[in-house]
Amino acid sequence: MRALVQRVTHARVEVAGALIGQTGPGLMILVCAMQGDGTAQAEALAAKIAKLRIFKDDAGKMNRSLLDTGGGALVVSQFTLAADTRSGNRPGFSTAAPPDVGERLYHHFAQALAALGPKVETGKFGADMAVSLTNDGPVTIWLES
């Protein structure tokens, strides 16, 4: 699985103008299941992100995790993280998991992250979503399981 993690002061996602998920201080996580991924990859990625030390400690150093800060997470499916741009100008997405697998693993990832303690809200798989956030830092990290 792939994820793009952003440390945020707040983030929200809307579908058709209706708010469906949000978080205050914490993480905005865009996630994509890749071909061959399973629940083990979703769980490993959730554990890694929950423990990722990208929040400031009292000395101002990035030394605290989401679990340490008690922050929340907004998890949004993002199949375009599978983009292959090696040739031509139009990205290919053939390495993304099929939609049924991607949806199952997206939900499994969100549940695995929530089981570790953070409050987790989600977008809607496959929907046309409007996502807004304020990146704190900015801090943006690319992860693969």
Q: Which of the following is catalytic: 6, 23, 41, 78?
A: 78
Mean pLDDT for the stretch of residues 104-121: 98
Q: What is the pTM of this model?
A: 0.96
Give pLDDT, residue 94.
95
Residue 27: φ, ψ to 5° = -125, 140
Separation CA 17–CA 57 (nearest Å): 37
Indicate which residue of 80, 93, 134, 140 is catalytic: 80
134 a catalytic residue = no
Note if 41 is an active site residue: no
State residue 30's pLDDT score: 98
Q: Please, what is the average pLDDT of the chain? A: 97
Amino acid in position 79: F
Q: In the numeric block, which tokens belong to residue 131?
A: 């996502």
DSSP run (H or E) holding 46: helix 39-51
pLDDT (0 to 100) of residue 136: 97
80 catalytic? Reply is yes
Averaged pLDDT, 110-118: 98
What are the tens digits of pLDDT across the range 55-104?
A: 999 999 999 999 999 999 999 999 999 999 999 999 999 999 999 999 99
| pLDDT digit string, tens, across residues 1-21 | 999 999 999 999 999 999 999
2-134: in CATH 3.50.80.10: yes
